[in-house]
A and B are shown apart, each in its own frame.
Chain A
């Protein structure tokens, strides 16, 4: 565990540096902001608008990129100057994989570059344009004494402009995270919203044998670690908003109870939830409350709010019906959940302060596992179609749901990316349950990692700090 802490420390220092430099970033990000926002900022900060005005033309690329699954932008990712050996190769491979997963880009084959295009700073834009590149990433790497510095730049080839540049310093272990952070930066520059790649995924897997144990990895598949070894049943992880700990349901003491796991230290503790067995839980966006599904007084399932230290407890649902799978709205004022109160499992929304639940799904006889997008506008859920289970996305205010999977296997357990653009879910489309990555419209779906066991219940963390 300890080396990870070192890595975290190293990269968080980069974050702090980035935050310190933010006045500069804000100044030149104004050029790529939406018009309304630009006007607002100009009113507030007149001098800023003056400085930024010459760069307003940069908005051209951004205006063309609207979302994953749209026209893929041809982007060239060059080898880092200075080589860097394995570190350089890892940076390029990780960045390329992220850009490909994003669905926003078509990463050009490096074999077609022919060594042309100039250096990291003196880019030959004409040459890149003739090779079909619309966007270009260059960079250099230097290393010494176990330290690695990567400087990466993003260019708009047609506009002959640099859109962004970042310098990352850390140990050689941090190189993949540098690539993840730069991928997030590229999406920020082109869409105004950072990408989701510097994040973690917790999930349940049988890869170590027969038992369902809890695992965590970085989104890029690196740093995979087994968090539980209790050889019973562990279920339904949900991240705390700071991505440092998660709650999960475990049968390790015989009866299912709620536990919190610190993913850095591996420390595990019981969260008291009152009488009744636990059937899953999720954190509120501010981390101060946990919505838990538990057996009610008569053993039915109800949704209750508890604090992480087991303090105040209040019930949100009443009655004999099944109520499961709570998920908070990003502002914490509402909860979406599954209830069987009308005879079949359907999706409902209710205020965390109480009140009458509002039914969200009107079609199908089995709709469950709702998860609220971190952006607030959409809710993903699992629904049954012709005896198979598929992932749906519906507006948080209702409307027509979009079925985003249609494979022969079952697709279940959706979880949103921190930017609300993507989903990870578990699917048996190719046999054993495996994790898949998709944009929120289901246009492009890729297997995230290949597991020797069955992988399920993915939980996508917020962006790492």
Chain B
């Protein structure tokens, strides 16, 4: 049923017209539609199938999670910036016991002020030895998505490394970068940009 043939269209210089028919294809498409519906239903009815994907996750987490620390992701999600964003409260001044640290544009360098804040955070962690912390790296809205994800990761790492140098066990610390995706301040002004260039500390148990 590939009735492709060349037709000399009358009257015009005997140029060829390429043509094709599609009847067979449409019938086949209907068959596929039913097959797809059947497949959707069988996937929905089989608990084994949906379990499979979550066990894939577990395998991945075993390698990914252990390399960055032992805090469960469910614990981390609660109270973190992404969680706040989903609840619509990001930038609403919700504060944990640890203060944010701020950075200069396109920089991962810890200023004197940043080190002072990190020392206070390390003190608090010394007084609360069971607390674990996810360190979030954030960037301002300028620049590109992927580069800012990488920059945020370096900011989170800089804060982590300094906390570790102050005696905090690295097993209590995980890092994540949100790049420029989760802004606490939306305006395109110097002061807003400065507020967004931060590491944020989310405490879990």
Does B68 make an interface contact (CB < 8 A)?
yes
Of A66-74, A265-273, A352-360, A434-442, which binds chain B? Answer: A265-273
Across the interface, name the chain B residue whose C-beta is closest to A301: B150
What CA separation (Å) do A151 and B12 show in the bound complex? Answer: 14
Cβ-based interface call for B199 (8 A): no
Question: Given A165-B15, A412-B144, are A9 and B25 neighbors across the interface (CB < 8 Å)?
Answer: yes
- Enumerate chain A residues within 8 angstroms of B59, measured Cβ to Cβ: 272
From residue A315, how far is it (CB to closest CB) to chain B in Å? 14
Asked if B196 is at the interface (CB within 8 A of a chain A CB), the reply is no
A293-B150 in contact (CB<8A)? yes
A108 within 8 A of partner (CB): no
* Residue in chain A with minimal CB distance to B12: A162
Partner of B17, one of A151, A232, A256: A151
- A10 in the interface, Cβ–Cβ < 8 Å? yes
**Is B176's CB under 8 angstroms from A25's CB?**
no
Mark interface residues in A371-398 (1 if CB within 8 Å of B CB, else 0): 0000000000010100101000000000
State whether B145 touches A277 (Cβ < 8 A): no
Report A-chain residues with C-beta under 8 Å of the C-beta of B66. 275
Q: Number of A-B pairs whose CB atoms are under 8 Å? A: 231
- Nearest chain B CB to A300 CB, angstrom units: 6
Contact of B60 among A162, A272, A293, A457 (CB under 8 A): A272
Q: Name the residue on A nearest B52 (C-beta).
A: A269
Q: Are A25 and B18 in contact (CB under 8 A)?
A: yes
Within 8 A of B (CB), among A229-288: 231-233, 235-236, 251, 253-257, 265, 269-270, 272, 274-277, 279-280
C-alpha gap A7/B29 in the complex (Å): 8
**Cβ-defined contact, B153 with A6, below 8 A:** no
Interface readout for A1-18 with B: 1 if CB under 8 Å, 0 if not?
A: 111011111111110111
* Binary per-residue interface labels of chain B (35-79) against chain A in the complex, 1 for a CB within 8 Å, 0 otherwise: 011000000000000000100110110011011100001101100
Instruction: Tell whether, in the assembled complex, residue B178 and residue A233 are in contact, meaning their CB atoms are under 8 Å apart.
Output: yes
CA distance A210 to B182 in the complex (A): 11
Q: Does B22 lie within 8 Å of A14, measured CB to CB?
A: yes
| In the complex, residue of chain A having the shortest beta-carbon distance to the beta carbon of B27 | A9
What CA separation (Å) do A303 and B30 show in the bound complex? 43
Per DSSP, chain B at the interface is helix
Q: How far is the CB of B134 from chain A (nearest CB, A)?
A: 10
Could you tell me if A254 and B73 are in contact, using CB atoms closer than 8 angstroms?
yes
A368–B143 Cα distance when bound, in Å, is 9
In the complex, the chain A residue whose C-beta lies closest to that of B14 is A162
CB distance from A299 to the nearest CB of B (A): 4
Beta-carbon contact of B63 and A12 below 8 Å:
no
Most buried by A among B2, B64, B68: B64
Residue B156 CB within 8 A of the other chain: yes
Given contacts A9-B32, A233-B178, A253-B57, contact A298 B25 (CB under 8 A): no
A299 touches B2 (CB 8 A): no
By a CB distance below 8 angstroms, the chain B residues around A345 are 147
* Contact count band on A: 35 or more
Whether B24 lies near A13 (C-beta < 8 A) is yes
Docked complex Cα distance between A299 and B151 (Å): 11
Once the chains bind, are A297 and B29 in contact (CB under 8 Å)?
no
- State whether A299 and B145 are in contact (beta carbons under 8 Å apart), knowing that A17-B18, A121-B9, A162-B15 are contacts in the complex: no
| A270 close to B19 (CB less than 8 A) | no
Q: How far is the CB of A247 from chain B (nearest CB, A)?
A: 13
B130 at the binding interface (Cβ < 8 Å)? no
- Tell whether, in the assembled complex, residue A300 and residue B178 are in contact, meaning their CB atoms are under 8 Å apart: no
Q: Closest B-chain residue to A274, C-beta based?
A: B63
Q: Is A324 an interface residue (CB 8 A)?
A: yes
Q: How many residues of B contact A (CB 8 A)?
A: 69
B1-31 residues at the A interface, CB under 8 angstroms: 2-7, 9-13, 15-22, 24-26, 28-30
CB pair A255–B145 under 8 Å, yes or no, is no
> In the complex, what distance in Å separates the CA atom of A169 from the CA atom of B22?
6
For residue B149, CB closer than 8 A to chain A, the reply is yes
Interface centre among B2, B3, B29, B160 (most CB of A within 10 A): B29
**Given contact pairs A295-B153, A368-B146, A18 touches B4 in the complex (Cβ within 8 A):** yes
CA distance A168 to B150 in the complex (A): 48
Question: Do the beta carbons of A171 and B26 come within 8 Å of each other?
Answer: yes
The yes or no answer to A338 lying at the interface (CB within 8 A) is yes
A28 at the interface (CB under 8 A from B): yes
With known contacts A299-B68, A299-B156, A165–B9 Cβ distance under 8 A: yes
Q: How far is the CB of A51 from chain B (nearest CB, A)?
A: 11
Asked whether, in the complex, the Cβ of B2 is within 8 Å of the Cβ of A16, the reply is yes
> Looking at the complex, which one of B16, B144, B177, B181 makes contact with A165 (CB distance below 8 Å)?
B16
Known A10-B29, A231-B86, A322-B154; contact A122-B19, beta-carbon cutoff 8 A: no
A50 within 8 Å of B (CB atoms) = no
How many angstroms from the CA of A235 to the CA of B145 in the assembled complex?
A: 8
Going nearest first, the 6 A-B pairs with the smallest beta carbon separation are: A17-B20, A167-B19, A13-B25, A6-B29, A17-B4, A301-B150
12 new A-B contacts, CB < 8 A, other than A13-B24, A276-B64, A368-B143, are A2-B36, A5-B33, A9-B26, A24-B6, A212-B181, A254-B73, A254-B82, A279-B179, A299-B153, A301-B154, A322-B150, A325-B147
Chosen A-B contacts, 23 in total, with CB atoms closer than 8 Å, are: A1-B36, A2-B37, A5-B36, A10-B26, A21-B19, A122-B11, A153-B12, A166-B19, A169-B22, A236-B146, A256-B149, A269-B56, A272-B60, A274-B63, A275-B66, A275-B67, A279-B146, A299-B154, A300-B157, A301-B150, A301-B154, A368-B143, A369-B147
Interface residues of B (CB under 8 A from A): 2-7, 9-13, 15-22, 24-26, 28-30, 32-33, 36-37, 53, 56-57, 59-60, 63-64, 66-68, 73-74, 76-77, 82, 85-86, 88, 106, 142-147, 149-151, 153-154, 156-157, 160, 175-179, 181-182
